[in-house]
Structure 1
Amino acid sequence: MLTLSKFHVILIPILFFITLLSPLFSIALPINIWPKPRFLSWPQHKAIALSPNFTILAPEHQYLSASVTRYHNLIRSENYSPLISYPVKLMKRYTLRNLVVTVTDFSLPLHHGVDESYKLSIPIGSFSAHLLAHSAWGAMRGLETFSQMIWGTSPDLCLPVGIYIQDSPLFGHRGVLLDTSRNYYGVDDIMRTIKAMSANKLNVFHWHITDSQSFPLVLPSEPSLAAKGSLGPDMVYTPEDVSKIVQYGFEHGVRVLPEIDTPGHTGSWGEAYPEIVTCANMFWWPAGKSWEERLASEPGTGQLNPLSPKTYEVVKNVIQDIVNQFPESFFHGGGDEVIPGCWKTDPAINSFLSSGGTLSQLLEKYINSTLPYIVSQNRTVVYWEDVLLDAQIKADPSVLPKEHTILQTWNNGPENTKRIVAAGYRVIVSSSEFYYLDCGHGGFLGNDSIYDQKESGGGSWCAPFKTWQSIYNYDIADGLLNEEERKLVLGGEVALWSEQADSTVLDSRLWPRASALAESLWSGNRDERGVKRCGEAVDRLNLWRYRMVKRGIGAEPIQPLWCLKNPGMCNTVHGALQDQ
């Protein structure tokens, strides 16, 4: 047990916020919480020990109870040791015996817009800390914050006392997209990602399950899609796997949003149903053809044929199975990168075009035949921005009802966000210029002359690499939007497309860059003066990365360890002076 006097100093983890003492050096106050709470008060900078019999007292709840057990075990086993020593007064009169969790409305479901706010207090002189939340999901956010305030080696654990936190997110949709079609990830990989998301208070796992490269999802109504379209019999997700992932998501306060990308990106469907897929298994960019004449935007061709009645029979079976397996109220229908050349390989489509029809009318026919069916299943449809903004194939807004449609943007940064909300649609922001985590690793094509061009960015179409700083500093509802338009921005997602990623690099590609998104969308990226606080965040993110690694998440380093042990010495005076 601890044997320190009340005047003794103890080692504690650095820092909740940074106080700038000079342009070259900053000193840290205790407590490192990521993402930074909206409001925190700790006036006396005192700490107490955690009782050896500490417990979390919470009402029974299907999902919160699992979370309570998880955090109780984490607090006891994490043994987070500080890398730097800072003085704080340890009060010896008593220990903290319990955390009392109160939830005002357990009926609130896990869906977009649910109240995730919480209040957390650890009064001086009390044996109990108190966590108050409106929903079970808000209580989970508060439990995470509480866990990050504890340091030491069990049973000698300490935490701040006389602290009060009031917290809630700026944006309701804070997500990570993972593509499991181009390379396969195991169920454990997905669950580890959800675990790390919950620790970062991210709440939407956008599961891009299928694409032209593979169809790994085993569906009861259409088993041949995975049997013939997966990358192999051991690279599929069974209904039992899906149930396990969805359950795990609920226990961590993370929604699992499925995406079945159609009508483009469906070459894998052609393995089971070649009659409903145009240009399947054709070379994606024929020799001698211009880029405009390509059949796909990358290797892996195939698009569903909107003129085939069989298309809708299969698609509706898929939709029904997805609805049955995923309780999430959003259904992502894809809709991106429908390429003219692919549809034009089909004789029936060419006849339709010769009779005065257009490619955009084909897309509208597909949407008119599928969107109402998805809506009839009590789902809101999410599409990529292409269905409204593509230069060649796009639908008239009349077939995209605003009350049932959300658009996800990936091109042209703030400009396309502005175009979408100006048209009255809700938007999820995933701008490739800021939020694509696969960018900057070069291309994956062989025999590509682009590597001869110095200005090519090394063959990566979306180069450069998206640093945590660029992710953190991106304002998804910036000055281009008026007040009403900002209300239509639901939030954002970082995206990991998997042409050059699999389980061997999953953690390091996601973390801590996705952590930067987490804080930016939870409590913002500016300080009280309205100045970008990226420079202040670096020390906290560095420490949070260190703690994530302790928790089994292989997050990549953002600085040399020397910087952690010498706070402020890796800063530069110039940026700080320019911001003031």
Structure 2
Amino acid sequence: MKLLPLAVALSVSLAFGCLPTPGAAAGADDLVYGYECHSGVCRKVELSEDNFAKAISLPVCRLFCSSSIGTLWPKPTGAVQLEPLMRQVDITNIKIQRPGGVNKRDKVWRDTERRWMDLVHAKIPNLKLLRSGGYQLAVVINTADSAKPTRLTLDTDESYVLQIGTNSTAGQVTANITADNFYGARHALETLNQLIVYDDIRRELQVTANASISDAPVYKWRGLLLDTSRNYFSVKSIKRTLDGMAMVKLNTFHWHITDSHSFPLEVSKRPELSKLGAYTPSKVYTHKDIQDIVNYGRVRGIRVMPEFDSPAHVGEGWQHKNMTACFNAQPWQKFCVEPPCGQLDPTVTEMYDVLQDIFSDMFELFDPDVFHMGGDEVSVGCWNSSETIRNWMTKQGWNLNEADFMRLWGHYQTEALKRWDNLTSTAAAPTPIVLWTSTLTQEQYIDDYLNPQRYIIQIWTTGTDKVIKKILKRGYRIIVSNYDALYFDCGGPGWVTDGNNWCSPYIGWQKVYENNLTHIAGDYQHHVLGAEAAIWSEQIDEYTLDNRFWPRASALAERLWSDPVGADGGWKQAEARMLLHRERLVENGIGAEAMQPQWCLQNENECPIDAYA
């Protein structure tokens, strides 16, 4: 067995007298264990005067011992070189140099730097015990676009190169970041942060002395969906979700703000929508809240994309308008999939004026490069229950069959899109529109009503659904959210019946990790923008949010950023890194679900049943 040369390179900075005497009882502040690298596995050892010089802390050992990519999450897609040598960092002497031309007062860059320093400080369990001194850490950022950060788009280049070098004479470690723009540079900072660890043996902050990483995401769209209508989520809890997303380079927060259950969105010209539709006056997302969340996301490299789900999933807030059908109709099973039912009435001309006012606020507040118009679970039975709708269709010479109700839906979609386009007419190009898979996206209807140059289809059915390739072969781009792997609310009791909820069982992180989009799309992979994991919040609120998203969302992040394949493509190779990554999430205030006993974290490869197979 060969010891990692890193151990020799580390300076012994704690006097042996600070260690417990072998066999003696240790005090609360005494560290008893360290680690040594044996045959690519970190082994736990009791510290003594004999082995102290060789022993290293667990994060340092894992960084170099187990894998060529260390403990990085998600794994980089380009070349990675990590020299097994660490340098102590002087926490009081970290300098960040912005790209030339960036205004010193630019809030996005300033907040990015502040957040990065907060992440560094979060590594230190007790500042009073931190050993002072060390190397200066200079972070030098170079971007081709040195202007103020613009919004993230489907064309944004998120790649970066990170190079770390040490000048021992000058006592300086320099991290050079090269990227096309702010977003790539921000991702590089995230990676750099993962190369900084707290060594609890020597009680010092350390950084990789020499490294080179080239990295870029495989998929453009890497997202999470949160439904804030079934249950309300505070701004603080949404920001915490954005924090976790930033740590794993997820770039899209899909905000399903409204539904039939509640309308918590403030609309300036239609205040009655939230007054009638919110659960309480305090459970409303004001314009100030939304601007705060959008800006918070941008600092973290995340687009916040709004969804206004329609023409179905509409109800609370629309009272007294005579613009809906089957709202809160009973028995609800005849009209929708869960109570309360409700759909917009496409025959009411004035309804489109209300839509335009909602769209107007969303356009101004979110500045979206992509807009989601829902289109989920439209019920023919709901529309057919309305005498007003039936009479209108009859006057058009239509029948009351499925095909003509899809024609009615097509009419709605055309008119709603016109209202959106009225607001965005000055944009350089029409906004791409996302719709869920539905009856309208089936083979017999999709060509008549949805232009593949304009519409992106979000898949929510199973990953083996034959409809997916029928959509892809027509040239539509897709976002994958197959419920059998990416619905994180699955697994729990039924709430409208006994037994378990409809999409049980609970989906483990391993299945999320193995949800290969190439297998789903086949020969049409070039039309796949990426994927989203979803939380529909019937049985989840902000108090259970973290452990539903995390660390499973991290598994999705590596699948979308790295798309691991072959021998390195399975969850087993990722498990040891995932355990440490989960600790990193918790370290930064995210209540990620526990995966294994902590003993498994400290005893690498001892828990998987076929670790040595």
The two structures have a TM-score, normalised by structure 1, of 0.87
Q: 2:537 aligns with which of 481, 484, 498?
A: 498
Q: Is the 8 A contact 1:174 1:493 kept in 2?
A: yes
* Aligned partner of 1:344 among 384, 390, 397: 384
Query: What letter corresponds to residue 418 of structure 2 in structure 1?
Result: P
Q: Summarize deviations over 1:328-348 as a string: whole Å, max 9, x none.
A: 111110001001111111112
CA distance in 1 between partners of 2:213 and 2:549 (Å): 28
TM-superposed deviation, 1:42: 3.4
Name the Cα RMSD after superposition.
2.6
Equivalent residue for 1:212, pick from 245, 252, 260: 260
Q: Give the one of 507, 514, 535 matched to 1:466.
A: 507
Matches of 2:591 and 2:211 in 1, distance apart?
31
The answer for the alignment partner of 1:148 in structure 2 is: 194
2:325 — aligned with what?
278
Q: Where in structure 1 are there 5+ consecutive unaligned residues?
A: 20-26, 82-92, 287-293, 452-457
The verdict on how the C-alpha distance between 1:253 and 1:46 changes in structure 2, with shifts beyond 3 A counting, is same
Matches within 5 A, 1:36-185: 36-42=75-81, 44-52=83-91, 53-59=93-99, 60=102, 61-79=106-124, 95-107=135-147, 109-125=151-167, 127=172, 128-152=174-198, 156-185=204-233
Which SS does the other structure have where 2:373 is aligned? strand
Match of 2:270 among 209, 213, 222: 222
- Report 1:262-341 matches (<5 A): 262-273=310-321, 275-285=322-332, 294-341=334-381
Deviation (angstroms), 1:165: 0.7
1:481 Cα deviation after fit: 2.1
How much identity, in percent, do the aligned residues show?
34
Q: Which has the higher contact order (CA 8 A, sep 6+)?
A: 1
CA distance in 1, matches of 2:228, 2:490: 17
The corresponding residue for 2:239 is: 191
* Cα 1:425/1:7, change in 2 over 3 Å: same
Alpha-carbon distance, 1:48 to partner: 1.0
Name 2:23's counterpart in structure 1. Answer: none
Between the aligned partners of 1:346 and 1:66, the Cα distance in structure 2 is 52
Separation (CA, whole Å) in 2 of partners of 1:79 and 1:111: 36
Structure 2 residue 454 is the aligned partner of structure 1 residue 418? no
Tell me: CA distance 1:508–1:310, structure 2 relative to 1, closer, same or farther (3 Å).
same
For the residues of structure 2 that align with 1:497 and 1:381, how far apart are their CA atoms?
A: 21
Displacement, 1:62? 4.0
Shift of 1:189: 0.8
Shift in Å at residue 96 of structure 1? 4.1
Instruction: Map Cα deviations across residues 57-83 of structure 1 (whole Å, 9 max, x no partner).
Output: 2233442331112112321342179xx
The TM-score with structure 2 as length reference comes to: 0.82
Note the C-alpha offset of 1:512: 0.3
Larger radius of gyration: 2
Give 1:115 shift.
0.8
Structure 1 residue 380: Cα displacement:
1.8
- Cα deviation digits, residues 217-243 of structure 1 (max 9, x gap): 011011110010111111110111111
1:352 Cα deviation from its structure 2 partner: 4.0
Deviations 1:24-49 (A, max 9, x none): xxx56794211111235335411111
Q: Which stretch of structure 1 is more off in the superposition, 96-105 or 42-51?
A: 42-51
Once the two structures are superposed, the pairs formed by residues 441-480 of structure 1 within 5 Å of their partners are 441-445=492-496, 448=497, 451=498, 458-478=499-519, 480=521
| In 2, Cα distance between equivalents of 1:56 and 1:209 | 37
Answer whether contact 1:58 1:65 (CA < 8 A) is retained.
no
- Cα 1:343–1:514, aligned 2, differ >3 Å: closer, same or farther? same
553, 558, 563: which one pairs with 1:524?
Answer: 563
Question: Hey, what does 1:384 align to over in structure 2?
Answer: 436
Output the amino acid matched with 1:64: W
How far is 1:99 from its partner? 1.2
Matched letter for residue 566 of structure 1: N
